Structure 1
Amino acid sequence: MRGDVSEPEFGEAAQAGFGGPTRPGEPRREFAAIHSHGLARVAAATPLVVTADPARNAEATVALARQADADGVDVVVFPELGLSSYALDDLHLQDALLDAVEQAVDTVCRASRELGPLLLVGAPLRRRGRLYNTALAISRGRILGVVPKTFLPNYREYYEKRWFASGAGVTGEEITVAGRTVPFGTDLIFEAADLPDLVVGVEICEDYWAPIPPSSYAAMAGATLLANLSASNIVVGKAADRAHLSAAQSARALAAYVYSAAGTGESTTDLAWDGQGTIHELGDLLAESARFADTPQLLVADVDLARVRQERMRTGTFNDSAAAAGRPEQRFRTVRFDHRPHRRDVGLRRHQRRFPFVPDTAERLDLDCYEAFNIQVHGLARRFQATGGGRMVIGISGGLDSTHALIVAAKACDRLGVPRTTILGYTLPGFATSDETKANAWALMRALGVEAAEIDIRPAARLLLADLGHPAAEGAADYDVTYENVQAGLRTDYLFRLANHHGGFVVGTGDLSELALGWCTYGVGDQMSHYAVNAGVPKTLIQYLIRWAVSHDQFDEDTGKLLTAVLDTEISPELVPADAETGTMQSTQDRIGPYELHDFFLYHLLRHGLAPSKIAFLAWHAWRDALTDGWPAGFPDGERHAYDVATIVRWLREFLGRFMASQFKRSALPNGPKVSFGGTLSPRGDWRAPSDARATAWLAELDRNGPQP
């Protein structure tokens, strides 16, 4: 059963961009604005400071703010005490310096009136006989509020408690800065009134080295973007520690995290500075700056704040943590401001992986393939033990999925210490089985040392077609779904009865991509088995798992050559004979679309719940150029290609229709191991959905907010 949907035609306008939300009665607009898809552009700024010269530092701050404005940045994070410089020692307590700092604040405010970014600037400020190390939030000339540093380091090279008062417990207060009285305290978050999901929490340097960073509470109060204004002198190995902390805090707080450390210009009397900047999102590094630079730095990336919000919605522990912490949203003050986002096309400034299920660095790819392969092997071995140790029965077509299931089973036997002849491999040729795949199947079974046999299903298929009164029983070229499924169903019938006969169980071969698309026949081997070892692995990852097995000598050289030959074989169900004139075999991807696109759609729908228009937007940026980066390590050069907007939307509509219409097949899935962090479609795991839902709302959203027809 398939969920076919109509496919619109797209004109040249669709190539230009993506339409954003409009109010009723407004004309549709053309732009590819990140703001339309829940993203915001952020920056970590590293100006060249001048020690104890606030006026010069204000100029440097304004210069980078203007650069950020021109680049379409929404939030800029500057270093700790950037207006005064950090390494001043007792000069912090000089009124001449502190007066100059307030003048510098006024300079930044006046200069930023016509600038778009929210500026987070560091400065020492006086209040009621105390001096605080603070971060000022400045938007379009207005100081929104001031956040004091909570944790003051006073060990090794640090002596901050000599000069500064801690902000611990300072809530609900105000401060007067450069003649402006504004909110003051550690209980402030800053929310854009006109850009959904842009809510900013601020902490300063040492704060995120604490066991519970202040930004954890800000996140639980609603902040999606966390900023750290830091000085942080550099010593060997410290840069890695900072990056680990930023990654961990963005993952733990389910947030984006921008870190900016002091750089060139700070006093090197006893310390040195590297100007490290990083931008993380949900634990992933989006961008990092050049360190030890002798020019001003502006590190820019686009963070997906809608993704942050969605991740929090699906992670119940986040809400439970907020409850355990006494509901921080009730203690924090939210300062709302009119951000006035530019909403112009500024491209997409983030690394967009074409294959989100497959890492694109060689080191991570090796690790993930090792883990994925062994998850499958371990799962199958445990199931074999639980069944009492009979036989594993697998139908071997010579194609990608059955080959992968077979090598997983072979390794499971090795791990269990049982002979590979425990595996009963059967090739079951039908009306359209090619000589190439049949030869591959036999060669693989022999090379792996499994017990192999062949059962020709054509006589039984003809008999069944005749019983049904199907024209193909008399030789007619009526290759409908009945013709196909008679063959697929017979193969499964044989495998289950063979398992009964030999006291074993059927190892399934269907993969995650086929289950997502419903490209599997209900009750048949790619949907039904005793243990679905491939059900958690998408098609694109299976290709890399086989490549990994070959390159890491999991099997001997001859077997490796056979596995490589399978990778070069066209993906086909081989249920319909080749075209009589051209000899072209039935092609799955010609029928339902490229698996590389479908896996991209699946990941972002399943893992993040993204709207179809946003999936299309990301896919376009990922796939529009065949020559840019984004390909996994070792991807064959001859297979690098691009997709235009019309093609992406065509296959996205196909995906959405098939995905929704095929839930009933997934609701009856057999057991199988979850493999990827991207998720699984098991009804007992990541995906629970009704079998009678429709794709109407998703297709309508794509029509409303996606590329213009």
Structure 2
Amino acid sequence: MQDLTLVMAQLDPLVGDIPGNADRAIEAVREARIEHGADIVVFPELYLSGYPPEDLLLRPSMETRLREARSRMAAKVVRDVLVIIGYPGRREGNGYNLAGLLYNGEWLDEYAKQVLPNYQVFDERRYFATGEQSLVIEHKGAKLGLLICEDLWDGAPVRKARDDGAEILLTLNASPYHQDKPGERLRLLEQRAAEVGLPVVYVNTIGGQDELVFDGGSACVDGSGVLRVLAPYWQAGLMPVQFVQEGGRWVPQEGEIEPPEEPEESLYCALVSGLRDYVNKSGFDGVVMGLSGGIDSALSLAIAVDALGPQRVQAVMMPYRYTADISREDAAEQARMLGVGYQVLPIEPMVDAFMATLVETFAGTQRDTTEENLQSRCRGVLLMAISNKKGLMVLTTGNKSEMAVGYATLYGDMVGGFNALKDVYKTWVYRLARWRNTQSPAIPERVIERPPSAELAPDQKDSDSLPDYDVLDAILMRYIEGDMSAEAIIESGYDRDDVYRVVQLVDRCEYKRRQAPVGVRVTPRGFGRDRRYPIVNGWQPGE
């Protein structure tokens, strides 16, 4: 009875670091051979360039660097292991998304991705031509059919590989996370395997890249669609899959299966991973953030500490005359709970100085949001000064509900380099805060229970300006994720005035979102790469 050991290399490449990614691949193959007796090692999609490389693919030197990296791999990768690894490449004047096969110092063949996604965050037709052929290669008695990510979701390349004699399907992936995506993937794997009656090995990348985050979850299902191996989510590593030939078919043996995550845990890990990789890959020493005593900054602080450790996080309370005593107390208490550096920098002298300078300019006008925004902008100035002086990235804290309707101040609380909560609706902010406290004390309970307020005016509450967050988020999800019109949302049971007020705010505030920091994308329709609306337009939201 023959057997075959395949190792899924669930790793976190750095986009553009082609030599470094190649070196990590060489080491991973060596480790897979020594620790697991690997016959085959499979890496994720576009591993050598990192994913997504975007317009780096248009750089003339990209192909030269890839050739050098592949030559070094051919010289240094251990023998007797078939390596299947993703990279971009130009062939006969066209760019392709490729999977290359390396064995005993020789690059044997290449497979070009056949289905190029061009929706949501994907823009592959900008860079790549479509592959036309399936590729089946025999190794140690097993016929291996290659696929790359969207090939599996489409399905046609899966059937072509089976028809060309594949006995095991290997798919290289860079599948970004969003809420509920892990379950969608596993259902897809089960469906495709059962359709063609072949085992499928699914190798996914991991880690954060700009606003995208990858959760891993590399897996293998058998020819009936039964899950046999599932690698841990949110952990880089090498996961072996043992195949045994039984009755002329290759059957994956039962191995480690990661238990399912709660929705809150999965989302929280995505935010931690995205922030950690953004800060570390960008070379920042740590982060500085405003800690207001409110729920958004409290959750952001917990995420930052879990991502970077308390010694790399500095929190700053910047009170004004409208800042409640309980906000000051809760901010100080949370900083103590989490062990972060903490300062109190009152902004009243700054605000007074600005108002004194503007007194003649503002003569004859009434107090309005201008004065409220000035408070926020003074805080932004302080945070950016600390950032410049100490080399710390400013972590901003606005949630998706606020970003959607523009309940944020340009050059004020929107100041920053990254926003972990940018794609998290307010209702989920509360869910995450409660979940995080079940793991260990991290957020004072009073912060979670009290009504949210920007504290820019006396007795101010968010509900003074916005519908309750349960209602607001339901409308926003239908308008943003569902692309429903205002009238369709109203027909589904929401108040006409609320709906029109919300959708008009969303449309009117596109200019703000264009100037907002990047943040982790965790919904199927995040602001940024996959929701591109014109700033100036005459579109009417009714129909």
Alignment partner, residue 316 of structure 2 = 426
* CA distance 1:244–1:376, change in 2 (3 Å): closer
What one-letter code is carried by the residue in structure 1 that aligns with 2:308?
A: C
What's the offset of the Cα at 1:698?
A: 1.5
Partner in structure 2 of residue 383 of structure 1: 278
- State the AA in 1 paired with 2:418: Y
- Measured in 2, the distance between the counterparts of 1:387 and 1:246 equals 34
Q: Is 1:521 paired with 2:409?
A: yes
Q: 1:244 to 1:467 in 2, by over 3 A?
A: closer
2:319 touches 2:328 (CA, 8 Å); kept in 1?
yes
Larger radius of gyration between Structure 1 and Structure 2? 1
Kindly provide the CA deviation profile for residues 510-559 of structure 1, in whole angstroms up to 9, marking residues without a partner as x: 1111111011111222x2311111111111111101111112x1x23xx4
Matched positions, count: 297
| Contact persistence 2:394–2:415 (CA under 8 A) | no
Distance (whole Å) between structure 1 residues aligned to residue 483 and residue 293 of structure 2? 35
Instruction: Give the superposition deviation at 1:694.
Output: 4.2
User: Percent of aligned pairs with the same residue?
Assistant: 24
Q: Does 1:601 align with 2:475?
A: yes
- Matched residue, 2:452: 571
CA shift for structure 1 position 616? 1.8
Aligned residue for 1:541?
428
Q: Distance in 1 between matches of 2:365 and 2:293?
A: 25
1:576–1:586 Cα contact (<8 Å) kept: yes
User: Which amino acid in 2 is paired with 1:390?
Assistant: D
- Tell me the residue number matched to 2:527: 681
Given that 1:472 and 1:479 are in contact with CA atoms closer than 8 Å, whether structure 2 keeps it comes out as: no
Asked if the contact 2:504–2:541 (Cα under 8 Å) also holds between the matched residues in 1, the reply is no
Deviation at 1:467, TM superposition (A): 0.4
Give distance in 2, aligned partners of 1:614 and 1:447.
46
Q: Could you tell me which amino acid in structure 2 is paired with residue 540 of structure 1?
A: T
| Structure 1 SS opposite 2:520 | coil
Task: Indicate whether 1:444 and 2:287 are aligned.
Answer: no
* Alignment partner, residue 663 of structure 1: 510
In the alignment, is the contact (CA less than 8 A) between 1:372 and 1:676 conserved in 2?
Answer: no
AA of the residue aligned to 1:413: L
Q: CA offset at residue 496 of structure 1?
A: 0.6
Supply the AA of the counterpart residue of 1:606.
I
Cα distance in 2 between the residues matched to 1:459 and 1:472: 19
Counterparts in 2 of 1:472 and 1:550: CA distance versus 1, 3 Å: farther
Distance verdict in 2 for CA 1:470–1:371, change over 3 Å = farther
Go from structure 1 to structure 2 and tell me whether the alpha carbon gap of 1:519 and 1:529 turns closer, same or farther (over 3 Å shift).
Answer: same
Counterpart CA distance in 2 for 1:494 and 1:662 is 25
Following superposition of structure 1 onto structure 2, how do residues 505-654 of structure 1 map, counting pairs within 5 Å? 505-525=393-413, 527-551=414-438, 553=439, 555-556=440-441, 559=442, 562=444, 564-577=445-458, 585-618=459-492, 620=493, 648-654=495-501
State yes or no: 1:690 paired with 2:534.
Answer: yes
8 Å CA contact retained: 1:391, 1:499:
no
Alpha carbons 1:428, 1:491 under 8 Å: kept: yes
1:20-419 pair list within 5 angstroms: 367-414=262-309
Unaligned runs of 5+ in 1: 1-207, 213-242, 253-362, 415-419, 578-584, 621-644, 702-709
Kindly tell me: are residues 672 and 410 of structure 1, through their superposed partners in 2, closer, same or farther at Cα, counting changes over 3 Å? same
Task: Tell me how far 1:574 sits from its aligned partner.
Answer: 0.3
Give the match's secondary structure for 1:592.
coil
In the aligned structure 2, how far is the partner of 1:495 from the partner of 1:471?
A: 27
Paired with 1:614 and 1:502, the residues of 2 have a C-alpha distance of: 50
Q: Could you say which residue in structure 2 is the equivalent of 1:29?
A: none
> What letter is aligned with 1:492?
G
Amino acid at match of 2:277: R
Provide the rounded CA distance (Å) in 2 between the counterparts of 1:447 and 1:385: 24
Q: Which whole-Å CA distance do the structure 1 matches of 2:312 and 2:324 have between them?
A: 27
In structure 2, the partner of 1:464 is 354
Q: CA deviation at 1:617?
A: 2.3
Q: 1:693 to 1:596 in 2, by over 3 A?
A: farther
What corresponds to 1:487 in structure 2? 375
Aligned residue identity for 1:657:
Q
Match of 2:44 in 1: none
CA deviation map 1:554-586 (0-9, x unaligned)? x23xx45x1x21111111110112xxxxxxx10
- In structure 2, the residue corresponding to 1:392 is in which secondary structure? strand
What are the residue-to-residue correspondences of 1:492-503 with 2, within 5 Å? 492-503=380-391
State the Cα deviation string for residues 114-169 of structure 1 (Å, max 9, x = none). xxxxxxxxxxxxxxxxxxxxxxxxxxxxxxxxxxxxxxxxxxxxxxxxxxxxxxxx
Change (3 A) 1:245 1:453: closer
Whether the aligned pair in 2 keeps the contact of 1:379 and 1:533 (CA below 8 Å) is yes
Structure 1 Cα separation of the partners of residues 480 and 517 of structure 2: 19
Write the distance in 1 (CA, Å) between the matches of 2:489 and 2:265: 29
Q: Is the 8 A contact 1:472 1:483 kept in 2?
A: no
Shift of 1:431: 2.4
Distance of 2:324 and 2:369 partners within structure 1: 20
Amino acid at match of 1:371: S
2: CA distance, partners of 1:653 / 1:435: 36
- After superposition, the Cα gap between the structure-2 partners of 1:501 and 1:650, relative to the gap in structure 1 and judged at 3 Å, is same
Q: 1:95 maps to which residue?
A: none
Residue 343 of structure 2 aligns with which residue? 453
1:10 aligns to what? none
Letter of the 1:489 counterpart? R
Counterpart Cα distance in 1 of 2:402 and 2:501: 13
Distance 2:420 2:188 in 1: 37
Displacement of 1:367? 2.1
Structure 2 Cα separation of the partners of residues 498 and 386 of structure 1? 21
Give how far 1:605 is off.
1.6
Scaled by the length of structure 2, the TM-score of the pair is 0.51
Secondary structure in structure 1 of the residue aligned to 2:416: coil
Aligned to 2:465, what secondary structure does the other structure show? helix
Q: Distance in 2 between matches of 1:245 and 1:570?
A: 42
| Aligned-partner Cα distance in 2 for 1:248–1:609 | 28
**Structure with higher RCO (Cα < 8 A, 6+ apart):** 1
Partner amino acid for 1:655?
A: V
Change in 2 beyond 3 A, CA 1:413/1:245: closer
User: Given the two structures, how large is their TM-score scaled by the length of structure 1?
Assistant: 0.39
Q: Tell me what 2:519 maps to.
A: 672
**CA 613–464 in structure 1, closer or farther in 2 if over 3 Å, else same:** same
Q: Which runs of 5+ in 2 are unaligned?
A: 1-154, 160-185, 196-258
Give the AA of the match of 1:410.
Answer: V
Secondary structure of 2:533's partner? coil
Is the alpha carbon distance of 1:617 and 1:460 closer, same or farther for their aligned partners in structure 2, counting shifts above 3 Å? same
Contact 1:471/1:478, CA 8 A, preserved across alignment: no
1:429 Cα deviation after fit:
0.2
Give the Å deviation of 1:248: 5.3
Over aligned residues, Cα RMSD in angstroms?
2.9
Give secondary structure in 1 for the equivalent of 2:455: coil
Contact persistence 2:284–2:393 (CA under 8 A): no
2:420 and 2:357 map into 1 onto residues whose CA distance is 34
Q: Structure 1 residues 615, 495: closer, same or farther in 2, change over 3 A?
A: same
Aligned letter for 2:307?
A: A
